[in-house]
Amino acid sequence: MPERDDVTAPTTPAAPPERPYVVLSCGMSIDGYLDTPGPQRLLLSNDADFDRVDAERAASDAILVGATTVRHDDPRLLVRSATRRADRVARGLSHSPTKVTLTKRGDLDARARFFAEDGVEKLVYCPSAAYDDALAHVGSRATVVTVGKACELRHVFADLRARGVRRLMVEGGGTVHTQVLAADLADELQLVVAPFFVGSSRATRFVGDAAYPFDCDRRATLTELRQIGDVALLRYALSPRCEVPPGSPDLARTEPGTEPETESDR
């Protein structure tokens, strides 16, 4: 049996572990849902925005989704554009980014498209208690990594950075987005709003209940607002490392978390 690949917390609290540049990418309905209560996958975007997301994938070193997304959506997580795939290969990279998932129990299905033999590296992170189950289920298709009892995201991200991942794209689902945002581990949020309502509290929301670092007293900085066909892209800076898009000089002057000027300040 392969040895466990453990990453433990640093012994001194001097500095947080180095992590990749983290981009959260999400599409939601006007009322903030990722899907419907039914089994059918809900398409929250359009062809033009799917192409934008494909470009973001091609620019990333790894793509992370939760185990629930692997089970329910069965995503391939591959770069679609042949031109972008060829460009990555020409630069000495795999045609698509490394696939990463998180699982609490380890009971993933090796037949899922995430684990297809597609020439892309796959990493499965789990708590130490789930290591043996994860290895038994998908160890022949992926590298199973345990980073301690709780599988804390900061340790996962530190391990990814140590493996050469400089830019990480997080595509969900709701639990993963909640964990990343609540832990203040994201640099950028790319949020697409679809022009319809789901209208059911039984559906999955973009995020769940948590103590988030950005609230009414600490506002995130909007760095881009763009119409893409019938959807709207909102891009937020969530750390000083955020890469501000070209053409946003005024927005770039505001550091993330800076409170807006009030009438009494003027």
Does domain 21-198+214-265 bear CATH number 3.40.430.10? yes
Please report the pLDDT score of residue 127 as a whole number.
97
Please report the pLDDT score of residue 256 as a whole number.
46
Helix (H, G, I), strand (E, B) or coil at 234: strand
Question: Of 125, 114, 160, which Cα lies nearest the Cα of 22?
Answer: 160
Question: At residue 8, does pLDDT exceed 50?
Answer: no
Q: How confident is the model at residue 14 (pLDDT cuts 50, 70, 90)?
A: very low
Question: Of 211, 210, 166, 206, which Cα lies nearest the Cα of 189?
Answer: 206
Question: Of 238, 222, 241, which Cα lies nearest the Cα of 182?
Answer: 238
The Cα–Cα gap between 165 and 159 comes to 9
CB atoms within 10 A of CB 163: 17
The mean predicted confidence, pLDDT, of the chain is: 89
Helix (H, G, I), strand (E, B) or coil at 236: strand
**Tokens at residue 235, please?**
């891009």
Please report the pLDDT score of residue 129 as a whole number.
96
In the chain, the largest separation of any two C-alpha atoms, in whole Å, equals: 67
Q: How confident is the model at residue 139 (pLDDT cuts 50, 70, 90)?
A: very high
Domain range list for the chain: 21-198+214-265
What type of residue is 197?
F
Please report the pLDDT score of residue 103 as a whole number.
96
The Cα–Cα gap between 169 and 25 comes to 7
- Mutual orientation of helices 47-58 and 82-90 as an angle, nearest 10°? 10
Please report the pLDDT score of residue 40 as a whole number.
78
The Cα–Cα gap between 220 and 207 comes to 16
The 10s digit of each residue's pLDDT in 172-186 is: 899 999 999 999 999
Please report the pLDDT score of residue 248 as a whole number.
60
Strands 231-237 and 188-193: antiparallel
